[in-house]
């Protein structure tokens, strides 16, 4: 283990070897990385543990400097473990560069089928005794991390003494189709709110989309193929607190004048590729719809976001450009064309297709166990969250015995980070019956 310091905190790098398949404990192993964080004035205290499960899927734990955002509040009470979930961050990586070690697309898909919430929770249970001596610990789950926490409550509640969920209570029974049927109207509302704030962006977005449509897409300097649909997916920014402002500043410098006429500026190209590329989180794209796949349905996800989008013709950019209507951006949706546009995803196109057609997923949630829950749970539900449907979250909140909710429109999906210590502080107060 390596220990080092940042302002106000002491960090320790931890590495764990866990089974690739927990049902075959003596089989192949992979490595997990986690960063232990403790307040510098409490290094020798016997603090309880809190494990942080990042959103995603496919995102490593956030890299904080000192006690930023919610972490400072957590460190008053806990020793925190920032876990890089399997396949992410410094854990054994799973990306276009490494997956060829598994074999072809079929072998890669079978491998990645072990990277959902069920495996992540079993990883947590595997390493927990090594850190706590067998005592239960607290979990903070942000977004997809909340999906993992709900699975944790369904399958191993004995490992938990507290659960905090921020923007991540999943539907217990919705198919991916249901998730996106609920999502597209929310996305449309977020776009309307953006244009109400920045009406000048209506014409800017239409101009960029028209430019791309005339050329059947443009290959950016970094190799990303920016089509009209890919441009629309910049709407994913609108789900965060500062996202509308970020999108506005991106659009305002889209073009420069060249000897050949107007062209997309280098600055726009760099920023757009940074926002759209999955190079740092390929599993987000490859496994995104699999997080909604429920065992026993024998029904594939089958590119649900793409299929359901056809039910909302107002998102059709071609029709929009033939009219005077504002161009609609899309949101947290992954489409098959992303695997043609993004150099980081192109080699994984067939693997992703096999996962999209898979039907043998294991169940993720156990409603009967959740109905008998005894673990203190509190959840922040962000009203009209673009990423997670509020109605689905409230249904699940009612299904988990004893869960306390805080429903607010003060924050978007990233409220636990954007609020500093406020969201986590309120959840801790709720779960401790201080409110």
Residues 310-340 have pLDDT tens digits of 999 999 999 999 999 999 999 999 999 999 9
**Which residues, 6 or more positions from 176, have their beta carbon under 8 angstroms from its beta carbon?**
289, 292, 293, 301, 304, 305
User: DSSP string spanning 44-60?
Assistant: TS-PPEEEEE-STTT-P
pTM score, whole prediction: 0.96
Residues 242-268 have pLDDT tens digits of 999 999 999 999 999 999 999 999 999
Residues 6-20 have pLDDT tens digits of 999 999 999 999 999
Question: Which structure tokens are listed for 280?
Answer: 């740092």
What DSSP element (H or E) covers 389? none
Share of the chain above pLDDT 90, in %: 98
**Which residues, 6 or more positions from 384, have their beta carbon under 8 angstroms from its beta carbon?**
186, 189, 190, 390, 409
Class of domain 2-173+365-431: alpha beta
Give the residue numbers marked as catalytic.
Answer: 143, 360, 413
Beta-carbon-side half-sphere exposure of residue 382 (alpha carbons within 13 Å): 24
User: 398: how many CB neighbours lie within 10 A of its CB?
Assistant: 11
Residue that has been written with the tokens 């989180």 in this structure: 281
Residue 301 and residue 353: Cα distance in Å, rounded? 10
Share of the chain above pLDDT 70, in %: 100
Question: Which structure tokens are listed for 201?
Answer: 């962006």
298: left (phi over 0), alpha (psi -120 to 50) or beta: left
Residue 183 and residue 18: Cα distance in Å, rounded? 36
Instruction: Please compute the mean of the pLDDT values over residues 190-212 and round it to a whole number.
Output: 98
User: DSSP string spanning 218-280?
Assistant: EE-TTS-EE-HHHHHGGGGGGGSTTHHHHHHHHHHT-EEEETTEEEE-HHHHHHHHHHH--TT
Domain boundaries, the chain: 2-173+365-431, 176-356
pLDDT reported for residue 294: 83
Residues 39-48 have pLDDT tens digits of 999 999 999 9
Q: How far apart are the first and last CA of the chain?
A: 40
Q: How many H helices and E strands in the chain?
A: 18, 13
pLDDT reported for residue 435: 84
pLDDT reported for residue 298: 74
pLDDT reported for residue 244: 98
Q: In sequence order, what are the beta bridge partners of 49?
A: 79
**Which residues, 6 or more positions from 165, have their beta carbon under 8 angstroms from its beta carbon?**
140, 141, 145, 146, 149, 150, 377, 378, 379, 380, 427
Instruction: Please compute the mean of the pLDDT values over residues 161-166 and round it to a whole number.
Output: 98
pLDDT reported for residue 297: 63
What DSSP element (H or E) covers 166? strand 160-166
Parallel, antiparallel, or unpaired: how do β-strands 160-166 and 218-219 relate? unpaired
pLDDT reported for residue 369: 98
pLDDT band with cut points at 50, 70 and 90 for residue 296: low
Confirm if 15 and 131 have CB atoms less than 8 A apart: no
Question: Which structure tokens are listed for 333?
Answer: 């949706």
pLDDT reported for residue 387: 97
Angle at CA of residue 302, ends 300 and 305, nearest 5°: 125
Residues 104-155 have pLDDT tens digits of 999 999 999 999 999 999 999 999 999 999 999 999 999 999 999 999 999 9
**Which residues, 6 or more positions from 147, have their beta carbon under 8 angstroms from its beta carbon?**
117, 141, 168, 170, 291, 364
């Amino acid at each position: 283990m390596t220990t080092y310091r940042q302002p106000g905190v002491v960090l320790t790098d931890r590495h764990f070897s866990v089974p690739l398949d927990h049902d075959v404990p003596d089989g192949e192993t992979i490595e997990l990385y986690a960063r232990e964080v403790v307040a510098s004035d409490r290094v020798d205290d016997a603090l309880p543990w809190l494990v942080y499960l990042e959103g995603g899927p496919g995102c490593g734990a956030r890299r904080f400097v000192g006690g930023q955002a919610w972490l400072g509040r957590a460190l008053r009470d806990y020793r925190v473990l920032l876990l890089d979930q399997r396949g992410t961050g410094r854990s054994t990586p799973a990306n276009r560069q490494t997956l060829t070690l598994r074999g072809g697309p079929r072998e890669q898909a079978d491998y990645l089928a072990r990277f959902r919430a069920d495996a992540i929770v079993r990883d947590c249970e595997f390493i927990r005794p090594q850190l706590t001596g067998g005592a239960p610990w607290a979990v903070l789950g942000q977004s997809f991390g909340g999906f993992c926490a709900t699975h944790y409550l369904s399958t191993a509640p004995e490992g938990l003494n507290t659960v905090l969920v921020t923007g991540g209570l999943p539907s217990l029974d919705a198919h991916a189709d249901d998730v996106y049927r609920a999502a597209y109207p929310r996305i449309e509302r977020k776009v309307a709110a953006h244009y109400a704030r920045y009406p000048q962006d209506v014409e800017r977005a239409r101009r960029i989309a028209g430019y791309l449509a005339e050329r059947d897409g443009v290959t950016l300097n970094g190799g990303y193929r920016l089509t009209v649909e890919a441009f629309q997916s910049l709407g994913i920014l609108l789900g965060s607190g500062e996202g509308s402002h970020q999108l506005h500043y991106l659009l305002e410098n889209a073009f420069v004048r060249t000897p050949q006429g107007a062209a997309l500026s280098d600055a726009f190209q760099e920023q757009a590729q940074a926002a759209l590329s999955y190079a740092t989180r390929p599993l987000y794209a490859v496994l995104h719809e699999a997080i909604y796949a429920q065992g026993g349905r024998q029904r594939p996800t089958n590119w649900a976001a793409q299929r359901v989008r056809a039910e909302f013709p107002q998102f059709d950019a071609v029709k929009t450009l033939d009219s005077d209507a504002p161009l609609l951006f899309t949101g947290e949706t992954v489409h098959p064309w992303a695997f043609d546009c993004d150099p980081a995803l192109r080699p994984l196109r067939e693997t992703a297709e096999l996962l999209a057609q898979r039907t043998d997923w294991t169940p993720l949630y156990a409603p009967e166990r959740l109905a008998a829950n005894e673990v203190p749970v509190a959840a922040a539900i962000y009203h009209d969250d673009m990423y997670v449907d509020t109605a689905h979250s409230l249904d699940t909140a009612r299904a988990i015995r004893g869960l306390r909710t805080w429903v607010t429109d003060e924050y978007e999906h990233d409220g636990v980070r954007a609020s500093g210590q406020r969201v986590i502080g309120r959840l801790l107060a709720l779960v401790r019956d201080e409110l």
